[in-house]
Amino acid sequence: MILKELTKKRVLTIDYYKNGSLQTCKGRVCNLDLYEQTLSLKDEQQKVFSIRLSGIKDIH
């Protein structure tokens, strides 16, 4: 149910850990890969960020 909400085309702000530090990214979900356990987020400049699902701290 939670993963289904992530696939809606709205702007999200995700706080996540990468290499031990907390990062923040804002954009729209462009891909959700359950096999690789990654989420791809595209920001306003069309830059794509790949985020591990296990590293996500907060979604708002």
pLDDT digits (tens, 9 = 90+) for 7-57: 777 899 999 999 999 999 999 999 989 899 999 999 999 999 999 999 999
CA distance 35 to 17: 20
| pLDDT score for 24 | 96
| pLDDT score for 9 | 76
**In DSSP terms, which residues pair with 4 in a beta bridge?**
none
1 has pLDDT over 60: no
* CA max distance for the chain: 29
| pLDDT score for 2 | 67
CB 19 within 8 A of CB 59: no
